[in-house]
Amino acid sequence: MASLILVLGDQLTDTLPAIANARKTKDTILMAEVREEATYVKHHKKKIAFLFSAMRHFAKHLRDSNYNVNYVYYDDEENKGSLLEQVKHSLASQSFTDVKVTSPGEYRLLKSMEQWQSVLGIPVTICEDNRFLATPEEFSSWAEGKKQLRMEFFYREMRRKHNVLMDGKNPIGGKWNYDAQNRESMPETHQVPKHTVFKPDDISSEVIELVKNNFEGHFGEIEDFHFAVTREDALAVLNTFIDERLPNFGQYQDAMVEGKPWLYHSHIGFYLNCGLLTPSEAIQAAEQAYHAGQVPLNSAEGFIRQILGWREYVRGFYWHFMPGLKTDNYFNNSRALPSFFWDGQTNMNCMRQCIKETQKNAYAHHIQRLMVIGNFSLLTELSPEEVQAWYLLVYADAYEWVELPNVAGMILYSDGGNLASKPYVASGSYINKMSNYCKNCGYQVSKKTGPKACPFNYLYWHFIDKQKEKLSNNHRMAMIYKTYGRMKEENIETMKQDAAIFLSKLTKNEEV
């Protein structure tokens, strides 16, 4: 009477019920580096190396803990190329009474697994993923009957439920949100503590060679691999962040500085999303640091909000609105992704910096993703399908449950406002305020029109003009449309003409 327990590459947590309840002398844990999951989009080389190495280290940890583990390497002859076929192969090779798997983070995979019992002819149990602080059912219950599903109100409920940064029934400090204190640009001379790096061990080195040999056509660089790949090292990343960077995180969390991709951010999304860290321990570490007087409230609250608020919210939002969220296209945008999204070869320094850093690190922080690359994607009417695929494959912390709501709802507004109260678009002045990118740009942020003008300037007003029927009644856009209404018609026409020229170049993949 033995169970086959399938563990996915983003489920590297031994407290998951499917693992913790395993009978070590009888059950077998199956882990596999399957081709289908590694290649259904051409994931960043560092993303594949990170996950394969973390999986191999986790399998070793399980074996050291006396679990029976069947680990299938990418280049094994026994590798069947997909999760279902690998499970079939295991069932044919050994006698099992049932299959257990933790609920996956992707809709397509869950729908497939829900059919496995009839396909395999054996009981299949899809166990709860207990690492999150709200279940999809809790989110849907909260969302029921609401006209607007705003993260801020969900976040407050989560603060109350889990008693985080609370003073009785009220938030500590008297306010729920200190975001207004968290929008400072960073002086260029400011010295940021170095982010935590690790030298690849033998396992990681083997995986890096595997990626070099098998994923040459995938996006990104594999050199300078330095991610944590064990729980112990992931905890070291968290603890170092709490001690060295969380005190200034709030103040500078939206800042962008050329040549400094890591800044004061925690970089623990990699480890939270694959299971090496849990959200509870990250939240508790930040809250304890605040109570100990190590960090100011705005930093602690801002960091906790990203996890307890935003991360939990987008996960619930994903399951609540799938599968329609994946195909929503509110603005009917269809322009193909420009070639410079793959190589960073553009005269726009902000885009060049963010894409080049993504190419090198499989990472960019949230403002680079939202207000530079995402802002550009919406203003230039790029295809939601292509933008979603790009964000999913280029970042090592990207899985569909977290990527799709952020891209479809927050970045592209392709869901028509179920997630965001307005489109997150801005002219070049925002990028200039929050970064030093504009100083080394081929365009001039101070110019609104003409061949040397920052493209974000005229693209922004082109968007406002083109989408006025859909957006002019949005109360959060009222001030923008008042400004638009006062603009001279000839100025609007000039910006529309400049936008048309730029978009034509983009369509033809000419240099911009």
Q: How far apart are CA 302 and CA 297, in angstroms?
A: 8
pLDDT above 90: residue 183:
no
DSSP string across 130-168: TTSSS-HHHHHHHHTT-S---HHHHHHHHHHHHT-SEET
Q: How far apart are CA 158 and CA 376, in angstroms?
A: 33
Q: What's 194's DSSP letter?
A: P
pLDDT in tens, 87-140: 999 999 999 999 999 999 999 999 999 999 999 999 999 999 999 999 999 999
Question: What pLDDT is recorded for position 284?
Answer: 98
pTM: 0.96
Q: How far apart are CA 184 and CA 369, in angstroms?
A: 18
Question: What pLDDT is recorded for position 474?
Answer: 94
Amino acid (1-letter code) at residue 46? K
Phi, psi of 98 (to 5 degrees): -165, 170
pLDDT above 90: residue 285:
yes
Q: What's 305's DSSP letter?
A: I
pLDDT in tens, 158-175: 999 999 999 999 999 999
Q: Above pLDDT 90, what percent of the chain? A: 96
Question: What pLDDT is recorded for position 181?
Answer: 79
> For tokens 């029976």, what's the residue?
68
Q: Which of 99-103, 380-384, 386-390, 473-477 has the lowest mean pLDDT?
A: 473-477
Domains in the chain: ranges and CATH = 3-127 (3.40.50.620), 136-321 (1.25.40.80), 340-507 (1.10.579.10)
pLDDT above 90: residue 470:
yes
Mean pLDDT for the stretch of residues 214-225: 96
Mean pLDDT for the stretch of residues 34-39: 88
pLDDT above 90: residue 1:
no
**268 in Cβ contact with 237 (< 8 Å):** yes
Q: How far apart are CA 55 and CA 52, in angstroms?
A: 5
Q: How far apart are the first and last CA of the chain?
A: 64
